[in-house]
């Protein structure tokens, strides 16, 4: 059935029929992309895909093979678009008041002011263990960087971190 439609692709009715048949797949990936023109982008890619498939001659392939190829191509295109949109900056003027308020709250949070909340078992830790946990979890400094700055091995810093976490775990139980 699909093979017959692909063979009559220059006919715009054939293209429209294929779009209707694969519309759920197009909508699925468009909704996952979560941006305004995602549906149009996915549909445009689908049209380009079916035209290129008809030019390359689908041959006498079974419908299942054609459907799997289209599904895989759509998924790969979705992944490509999601990676592109992942790194796009967010314009504050496009955000709602509620979203702006949430962002302001998150930005106003200062870890150094709330260290008691972050590391509640300060008394159970040595000064070095406390420093390692603070640098790793509050300041987001990698263990390798802490090791370099403190002239210790990464293994020693990592063991200190694990030991401190176990102390906190035991103190809170």
Angle between helices 12-21 and 23-33 (to 10 degrees): 60
Handedness of CA 55, 60, 63, 66 (dihedral sign): negative
At residue 47, the pLDDT reads 87
Q: Where are the beta strands (DSSP E) in 44-91?
A: none
Handedness of CA 82, 88, 93, 96 (dihedral sign): positive
> 54-83 burial, b for 16+ CB within 10 Å, e for fewer?
beeebeeeeeeebeeebeebbeebbeebee
Q: What is the pLDDT of residues 47-82, one digit of tens each?
A: 888 888 765 666 667 778 888 888 999 999 998 988
Q: Which two tokens stand for residue 150?
A: 């403190």
Residue 152: left (phi > 0), alpha (psi -120 to 50), or beta? beta
Q: What is the pLDDT of residues 12-47, one digit of tens each?
A: 788 888 888 889 999 998 888 877 888 999 999 988
Q: What is the pLDDT of residues 98-152, one digit of tens each?
A: 877 777 776 665 555 455 555 566 777 888 888 888 888 888 888 988 898 888 9
Cα separation, 72 vs 51, in Å, equals 16
Which pTM does this prediction carry?
0.51
């Amino acid at each position: 059935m699909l093979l017959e439609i692909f063979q009559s692709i220059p006919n715009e009715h054939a293209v429209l029929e294929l779009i209707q048949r694969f519309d759920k797949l197009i909508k699925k990936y468009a909704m996952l992309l979560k941006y305004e023109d995602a549906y149009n982008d996915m549909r445009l890619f689908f049209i380009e895909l079916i035209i290129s498939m008809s030019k390359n001659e689908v041959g006498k392939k079974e419908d299942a093979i054609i459907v799997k190829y289209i599904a895989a191509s759509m998924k790969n295109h979705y992944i490509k678009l999601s990676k592109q949109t992942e790194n796009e900056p967010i314009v504050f003027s496009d955000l709602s008041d509620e979203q702006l308020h949430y962002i302001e709250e998150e930005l106003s949070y200062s870890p150094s002011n709330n260290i008691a909340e972050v590391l509640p078992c300060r008394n159970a830790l040595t000064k070095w263990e406390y420093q390692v946990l603070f640098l790793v979890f509050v300041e987001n400094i990698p263990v390798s960087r802490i090791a370099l700055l403190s002239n210790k091995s990464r293994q020693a810093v990592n063991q200190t971190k694990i030991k401190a976490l176990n102390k906190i775990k035991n103190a809170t139980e």
